[in-house]
Amino acid sequence: MNIGEVAERSGIPTKTIRYYEDIGFLHPKRNDNGYRIFEETELHKLTFIGRARSLGFNIEECRALLALYEDKERGSSDVKKIAQQHVQEIEAKIADLIAMRDTLTHLITACAGDHRPDWRYCQFWCMSIFLSSVLHGFCLFDTVFEIDACDDFAKIGKTA
């Protein structure tokens, strides 16, 4: 198969296929005029890599998975270990998303949402969402702290 056929069958763009070749994931043969010739095994590898990428595995994790995929003598414990690590990463992302959802829900509840400006409260929450996302930790504040923090935030805004 040529690169166009492999791209069509795998659903992976030709540019990405060339990149995977450059980083050593694929080793297609070349015909006399230099065109890549892909075997069915390359198509299977591409499908495998594409699926792993769609599940959130990064390039280095794909490299490790591909090595395990190609190693017919591999222990299932190696595959299990990588899968367990990925599940832990997914669970951490879920926790972060839940915290962000809770923060946004609190913002929705706190802001009037009408045509009038609600600068002090809504602006504070928008800034807290921004800062928490930068720090990769999401926290909610109690009402007393929010009011004090809004005052402090307003003062900071005036001095900037």
The full 3-state SS of 43-102, as one line of letters, equals HHHHHHHHHHHHCCCCHHHHHHHHHHHHCCCCCHHHHHHHHHHHHHHHHHHHHHHHHHHH
Question: Region 97-104: what's the mean pLDDT?
Answer: 86
Can you give the pLDDT at residue 150?
A: 45
Can you give the pLDDT at residue 71?
A: 82
Q: Where are the domains of the chain?
A: 3-74, 95-159
Binned at pLDDT 50, 70 and 90, residue 99 comes out as confident
Give the CATH number of domain 3-74. Answer: 1.10.1660.10
Can you give the pLDDT at residue 153?
A: 44
DSSP 8-state class, residue 115: S
Binned at pLDDT 50, 70 and 90, residue 121 comes out as low
Binned at pLDDT 50, 70 and 90, residue 149 comes out as very low
Question: Region 112-119: what's the mean pLDDT?
Answer: 66
Can you give the pLDDT at residue 145?
A: 41
Question: Region 127-136: what's the mean pLDDT?
Answer: 59
Can you give the pLDDT at residue 156?
A: 45
Query: What's the start-to-end Cα distance of the chain, in Å?
Result: 62
Can you give the pLDDT at residue 19?
A: 96
